[in-house]
């Protein structure tokens, strides 16, 4: 008699809702006004990881909707113009969704290069929008100060892909 | 009949396409949000109910997270104070000895200044009430430099109130809810602050760009700024009191004038909100927008006797006018003289027909 094999069920709760809540919590924690020896906490855009990983894991209607809500949360929590981060995150999601066949099977440096390119594109979009609205371009050094910690978050995206991407050909 | 047995049995919706549709709709929605979320001319973003609700909810959460940081800071201060008490005591004694002559001079100058103000009749600025607050959350990115503080409209905070710490100006309040307020720092990309150079009294505009040192723009006068000049708030526009210390001028690596902020000398954790009301807030806008003659009282409607007197006067004026017109017509119809008559004296010269001067209309309130 064969023993039943435990089937791992990975639903939207595991790969969409929990990571989204974790991104919200991390954003709130990193906004704590800590200053030690003149240094403050970094302020990465945590949902950027999800905007990159979710379309590669599998296409879903829920994921972009949750991503939109996450972007709205960033705007409301940070006090930025409403619609700025939803637009940038959805743009990253759309680009990766269109390119997922190109990205399938790639790992390591190639995947990181795509992540970096998407992150830079999103920040460039945000930079242009803010510069036009405020009639004043933000500082490049300050921009680098937020892009760099966002790029450092790539291992989280890589871990999510290894954890949730089941390689189901129905989603290709 | 089950759904899968129907005509839609073989219908397959490609997931990638539906996800793409949601993404495109989301991008369009975000674009519309961006277009509709305009910034007010005074720098206060459209502070709608959604923003207020978000900050009301996240404010206490951030306050809880900030509490351990505050406790660790207090412990560090306590330990440091214990171990460095002697050196700090010596430093404070030296500082006190240095400041005592300045205190005497300040008292004397304050006395003289008060006499001058009384003699010249100067209207000095009233004392500004203050409110102590604690920063509970902050955004430090290139696109927004702001902090949430734990006082709100319930304690009298208003949009536009300046915020200072023990070193100098920090920013301005741009959003207020019941218990939480958002203040935009001087370093924010949307921040514009009218300032003056203490040494030359030259005016400039302090413009944030998301970096730690905002730029000095529109500096009036050649050579009016030097490295090391103190920068103060000018009070132009009425949004800030004059003379709040802001920082020290310095040349940036890009060649522009920048300001090293005094407020960066320590952590911006505890701040004070100046409940400062500019001229725009002191004056009731309804008074300014009223018609120019709205302050004058209009006459009451006339009584019956007054109306009768008014009617009589009008009838008399009309009868006199008709009689004068009839005389003028008869004079025009008379035959002209055939030869000129010799000039007569003024006494015998024909007089123009007497005109009946119309009686002045009785004043509505003076005739009974």
pLDDT tens-digit readout, B302-333: 888 888 888 898 999 999 999 999 999 888 88
Is B66 in Cβ contact with A61 (below 8 Å)? no
Q: Which residue out of A138, A166, A172 would a mutagenesis test of the B interface target, given it has the greatest number of B Cβ atoms within 10 Å?
A: A138
Is A97 in Cβ contact with B19 (below 8 Å)? yes
Comparing C-alpha atoms, which of A125, A75, A73, A138 is closest to residue A95?
Answer: A125
Please tell me which residue of chain B has the smallest CA distance to A135: B190
Residue B304 CA, chain-centre distance (Å), reads: 53
Determine the Cα–Cα distance for residues B31 and B114; give it in Å rounded to an integer: 57
Determine the Cα–Cα distance for residues A45 and A126; give it in Å rounded to an integer: 12
Architecture of the domain whose range is B129-287: Beta Barrel (2.40)
* b (16+ CB within 10 A) / e for A106-126: eeeeebbebbeebbeebbeeb
pLDDT tens figures, A86-139: 999 999 999 999 998 888 777 788 999 999 999 999 999 999 999 999 999 999
Closest in A63, A77, A87 to B27, CB measured: A87
Determine the Cα–Cα distance for residues A172 and A166; give it in Å rounded to an integer: 11
How distant, in Å, are the alpha carbons of A9, B207, B267 from that of B219?
65, 12, 29
Q: Collect all residues of chain B within an 8 Å Cβ-Cβ radius of residue A12.
A: none
Q: How many CB pairs under 8 A join A and B?
A: 175
| Distance in Å, alpha carbon of A77 to nearest chain B alpha carbon | 7
A63, pLDDT greater than 90: yes
Yes or no: say if A62 and A15 are a contact pair by the CB < 8 Å rule.
no
| pLDDT, tens digit only, all 368 positions of chain B | 455 566 656 666 677 888 999 999 999 999 999 888 765 544 444 566 778 788 888 888 887 877 887 788 778 778 888 888 898 899 999 999 999 999 999 999 999 988 888 888 776 666 788 999 998 888 988 999 999 999 998 999 988 899 998 889 999 999 898 889 999 999 999 999 999 999 999 999 999 999 889 999 998 878 889 999 999 999 888 888 888 999 999 998 888 899 999 988 877 788 999 998 766 555 666 766 666 655 556 677 788 888 888 889 899 999 999 999 999 988 888 765 555 444 444 444 444 444 444 444 444 443 33
| Residue B259, both tokens | 């300001």
State the pLDDT at residue B346.
Answer: 44
Please tell me which residue of chain B has the smallest CA distance to A134: B190
A8, pLDDT greater than 80: no
| Distance in Å, alpha carbon of A57 to nearest chain B alpha carbon | 12
**What is the DSSP secondary structure assignment for residue B39, as one 8-state letter?**
B
Look up the pTM and report it: 0.73
Task: Give ipTM to 2 decimals.
Answer: 0.84
| Distance in Å, alpha carbon of B259 to nearest chain A alpha carbon | 14
Q: Give residue for tokens 């500004």.
A: B128
Q: Which of residues 161-180 of B touch A (CB under 8 A)?
A: 174-175
| Distance in Å, alpha carbon of A125 to nearest chain B alpha carbon | 12
Determine the Cα–Cα distance for residues B19 and A55; give it in Å rounded to an integer: 9
Is A91 in Cβ contact with B189 (below 8 Å)? no
pLDDT tens figures, A14-40: 889 999 999 999 999 999 888 777 788
Q: What are residue B271's phi and psi, to 5 degrees?
A: -130, 170
Which H or E element spans position A117?
A: helix A109-134
Q: How confident is the model at residue A7 (pLDDT cuts 50, 70, 90)?
A: low
Q: Give residue for tokens 């940081």.
A: B69
Determine the Cα–Cα distance for residues B67 and B59; give it in Å rounded to an integer: 12
Comparing C-alpha atoms, which of B213, B169, B246, B251 is closest to residue A141?
Answer: B213
State the pLDDT at residue A45.
Answer: 95
* CB of B67 less than 8 A from some CB of A: no
| Distance in Å, alpha carbon of B106 to nearest chain A alpha carbon | 34
Could you tell me if residue B168 is left (phi over 0), alpha (psi between -120 and 50 degrees) or otherwise beta?
A: left
* CB of B30 less than 8 A from some CB of A: yes
Is B136 in Cβ contact with A82 (below 8 Å)? no
State the pLDDT at residue A68.
Answer: 95
Q: What are residue A35's phi and psi, to 5 degrees?
A: -140, 115
How distant, in Å, are the alpha carbons of A31, B19, B142, B338 from that of B345?
107, 113, 100, 21
Is B33 in Cβ contact with A86 (below 8 Å)? yes
Yes or no: say if A76 and A30 are a contact pair by the CB < 8 Å rule.
no
């Amino acid at each position: 008699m064969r023993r039943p094999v435990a089937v791992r069920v990975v639903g939207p709760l595991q790969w969409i809702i929990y990571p989204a809540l974790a991104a919200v919590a991390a954003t709130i924690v990193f906004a704590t006004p800590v200053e030690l020896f003149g240094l403050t906490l970094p302020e990465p855009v945590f949902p950027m990881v999800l905007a990159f990983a979710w379309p590669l894991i599998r296409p879903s209607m829920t994921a972009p909707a949750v991503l939109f809500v996450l972007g709205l949360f960033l705007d409301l929590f940070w006090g930025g113009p409403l619609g700025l981060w939803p637009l940038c995150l959805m743009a990253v999601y759309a680009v990766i969704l269109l390119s997922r066949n190109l990205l399938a099977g790639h790992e390591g440096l190639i995947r990181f290069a795509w992540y970096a390119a998407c992150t830079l594109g999103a920040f460039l979009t945000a930079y242009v929008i803010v510069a036009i609205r405020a009639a004043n371009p933000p500082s490049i050094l300050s921009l680098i100060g937020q892009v760099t910690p966002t790029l450092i978050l790539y291992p989280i995206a890589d871990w999510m892909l290894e954890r949730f991407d089941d390689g189901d050909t129905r989603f290709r | 009949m089950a759904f899968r047995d129907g005509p839609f049995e073989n219908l397959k919706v490609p997931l990638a396409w539906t996800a793409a549709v949601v993404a495109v709709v989301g991008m369009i929605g975000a674009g519309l949000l961006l277009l509709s979320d305009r910034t007010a001319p005074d720098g206060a973003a459209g502070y709608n109910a959604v923003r207020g609700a978000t900050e009301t909810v996240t404010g206490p959460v951030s306050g809880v997270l900030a509490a351990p940081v505050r406790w660790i800071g207090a412990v560090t201060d306590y330990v440091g104070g214990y171990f460095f008490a002697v050196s700090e005591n010596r430093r404070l004694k030296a500082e006190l000895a240095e400041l005592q002559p300045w205190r005497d001079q300040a008292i004397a100058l304050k006395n003289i200044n008060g006499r001058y103000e009384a003699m010249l009749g100067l209207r000095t600025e009233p004392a500004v009430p203050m409110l102590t607050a604690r920063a509970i959350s902050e955004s430090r990115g290139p696109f927004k430099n702001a902090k949430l503080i734990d006082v709100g409209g319930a304690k009298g905070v208003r949009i536009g109130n300046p915020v200072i710490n023990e070193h100098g100006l920090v920013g301005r309040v741009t959003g207020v809810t019941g218990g939480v307020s958002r203040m935009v720092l001087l370093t924010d990309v949307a921040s514009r602050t009218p300032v003056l150079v203490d040494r030359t009294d030259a005016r400039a505009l302090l413009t944030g760009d998301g970096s730690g040192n905002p730029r000095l723009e529109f500096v009036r006068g050649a050579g009016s700024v030097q490295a090391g000049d103190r920068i103060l708030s000018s009070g132009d526009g009425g949004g800030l009191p004059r003379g709040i210390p802001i920082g020290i001028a310095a040349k940036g690596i890009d060649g522009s004038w920048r300001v090293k902020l005094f407020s960066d000398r320590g952590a911006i954790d505890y701040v004070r909100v100046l409940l400062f009301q500019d001229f725009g807030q002191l004056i009731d806008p309804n008074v300014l927008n009223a018609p120019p003659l709205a302050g004058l009282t209009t006459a009451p409607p006339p009584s019956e006797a007054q109306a009768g007197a008014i009617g009589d006067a009008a009838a008399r004026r009309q009868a006199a006018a008709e009689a004068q017109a009839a005389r003028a017509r008869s004079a025009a119809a008379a035959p002209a003289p055939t030869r000129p008559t010799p000039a007569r004296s003024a006494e015998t010269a024909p007089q123009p027909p007497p005109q009946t001067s119309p009686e002045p209309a009785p004043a509505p309130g003076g005739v009974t």
